[in-house]
Amino acid sequence: MNLRIAIAQLDFLVGDLEGNAVRILDSAREARDRLRAHAVVFPELALAGYPPEDLILRRDFMTQAARMLDDIAEQTRGIDVILGFPENRPGMPYNSAAVLRDGKIHAIYRKHALPNYGVFDEKRYFLPGSEPCVFDLHGIPVGITICEDLWLPGAVEQAAEAGARLILNINASPYHTDKIREREEVARERIAVAGVPLVYVNLIGGQDELVFDGASFVLDREGRVSFRAPEFEEALVSVDFACGERVEPIQGDVAEPLPQVESVYKALVTAIRDYVRKNRFEGAVLGLSGGIDSALTLALAADALGADRVESVLMPSRYTAAMSIEDARLEAEALGCRYHVIPIEPAFDAFLGMLEESFAGLPPDTTEENIQARCRGVILMAFSNKKRKILLTTGNKSEMSVGYATLYGDMAGGFAPLKDVPKLLVYRLAEFRNSLSPVIPERVIARPPSAELKPDQKDEDSLPPYSILDPILEMYVEFDKSVDDIIAAGFPEREARRVAQMVDRNEYKRRQAPPGVKITRRAFGRDRRYPITCGYGQ
């Protein structure tokens, strides 16, 4: 006897209960009629979208979610539907999974392990469950667990002890580099104890600062991968199991994990595409400087949205090199994006004139540099408002970490694709994109980076070389290493202390930056949260 289960690796919109319900029902019918599956499995909280955050605290939202679950159940015929949903219970909701069968809610599982670290704060919203859920599927006892249940001992083993011969684990597991390997290693640890095969179904798509990569998989009882879905692609596919004395997955397609740089590139493209699409913008606009950060951002936006929906604005000043203007034009033309050239000199002169009397006797400093950046911010926001296109900022994680950016200037915008991308990775991503087609001039990659806000300016006038800066930032920001730890690792004491001080005193800037997608283990925003006003380390 064989068992066929459909994996619904799909992209759901947070809060769109009716739209998500339509997708769930359409996918269930397709799984039944085209794939001939006995069951279809959807990701964690698929009905609500993930993470629903404080929507869970709204009574009207939870009431409608319960009503939509009933509607889906009533229309379910000829196939079991395993669906993640927020369960509206007296006192406090649960993060639950329902088994829908022949017009009814056949069984419910409530997530045991509620993550409350990094980007997760599920204990704010949900109560933990404690009981296993094992149901009969085509004669096979099948257990359900949800996401974090797999990362801790307990729930999977409990389901196996209750008789489950197969585990379905539904997930909304956000992406960061190397996450696929981590998930599969953890899954192997669990099933080594439980002794049963596992189906891992993951969400896909961008949601604010998170992106979900899919990469759903099936492991046999020995921990071997018998199926893996592609990263960053929606999929409704079936997996088969031979059911005799043992339940054994039949070998299917196994998509190879992408190389790291390609995986990050696809994550960024997915995040931009979904942020623009789900928030109903007409497209995107960005300032194109001739530097590598804006060149990469333009390529990402064009790949995510299509070149016809992306505009760039070249805004030269008295300090802009001729090659920067030329390279920016070449970038836009290579991608087929429309561009505009609007010099900022008239606006800059006007501001200097307005402030001349008030600033009399005071020497020029970063004030004048920042005025230039803010002139550009005003122009770009005008484009965004007038054309209903989101403004993409182009700053990277290295700059954001140390405050090498102008508040209300180059930080102005609606979404920051490179906010969690260190500068050295920016170069690797640019080289990867050029391997597909040459869209970033080679000298943009080769020339020393510069903000071009004063004569002969280079980033290294204000910052350590990125080959030193990025590793220090990784230790200090992503792994919470102390300055002493960083010095002990071989970095110069002066640079270690200087970088740490810059990171600490620029928290106020980061709080005012636009959201940007998480691709490292620890991103600024909902992941790394530090006080602005703080006496520690001063």
Backbone angles phi, psi at 244, to 5 degrees: -130, -125
CA distance 123 to 114: 6
In the annotation, is 243 catalytic? no
CA distance 466 to 427: 11
399 in a known ligand binding site: yes
13 in a known ligand binding site: no
The C-alpha angle 429, 432, 435, rounded to 5 degrees, equals 155
403 in a known ligand binding site: no
CA distance 314 to 324: 9
CA distance 391 to 331: 18
Q: What is the DSSP string of 424-452?
A: HHHHHHHHHHHHHS--S-HHHHHSPP---
Element (H, E) at 191: helix 179-194
The C-alpha angle 370, 371, 372, rounded to 5 degrees, equals 90
Peptide bond connecting 51 to the previous residue in cis, omega within 30 degrees of 0: yes
Cβ within 8 Å of residue 8, ≥6 positions away = 24, 27, 31, 40, 41, 42, 43, 46, 201, 236
Residue ranges with strand state E in 389-515: 389-391
290 in a known ligand binding site: yes
From the number of C-beta atoms within 10 Å of its C-beta (0-12, 13-18, 19+), residue 399 rates as: buried
Structure tokens at 277: 């699409």
Length of the chain, in residues: 538
Long-range contacts of 186-189 (CB under 8 A, 24+ apart): 186/150, 186/151, 187/150, 187/217, 187/219, 187/223, 188/219, 188/223
Structure tokens at 3: 């068992």
294 in a known ligand binding site: yes
Element (H, E) at 43: none
326 in a known ligand binding site: no
292 in a known ligand binding site: yes
In the annotation, is 337 catalytic? no
In the annotation, is 474 catalytic? no
CA distance 235 to 10: 6
Which residue in the list 147, 184, 278, 389 is annotated as catalytic?
Answer: 147
CA distance 173 to 179: 9
370 in a known ligand binding site: yes
288 in a known ligand binding site: yes
117 in a known ligand binding site: yes
Structure tokens at 526: 């909902």
Structural contact between residues 305 and 276, judged by C-beta atoms closer than 8 angstroms: yes
Q: Report the b/e string of 220-245 with b at 16+ CB within 10 A.
A: bbebebbbbbbbbeebbbbbbbebee
283 in a known ligand binding site: no
Alpha-carbon dihedral 43, 184, 228, 519, rounded to 10 degrees: 70
Structure tokens at 393: 């900022």
Which residue in the list 44, 184, 209, 452 is annotated as catalytic?
Answer: 44
CA distance 460 to 374: 22
Residues annotated in the binding site for deamido-NAD(+), as ranges?
Answer: 370, 399, 509
Residues annotated in the binding site for ATP, as ranges?
Answer: 287-294, 394
Residues annotated in the binding site, as ranges?
Answer: 117, 173, 179, 287-294, 370, 394, 399, 509
Indicate which residues carry an active-site annotation: 44, 111, 147
Residues annotated in the binding site for L-glutamine, as ranges?
Answer: 117, 173, 179
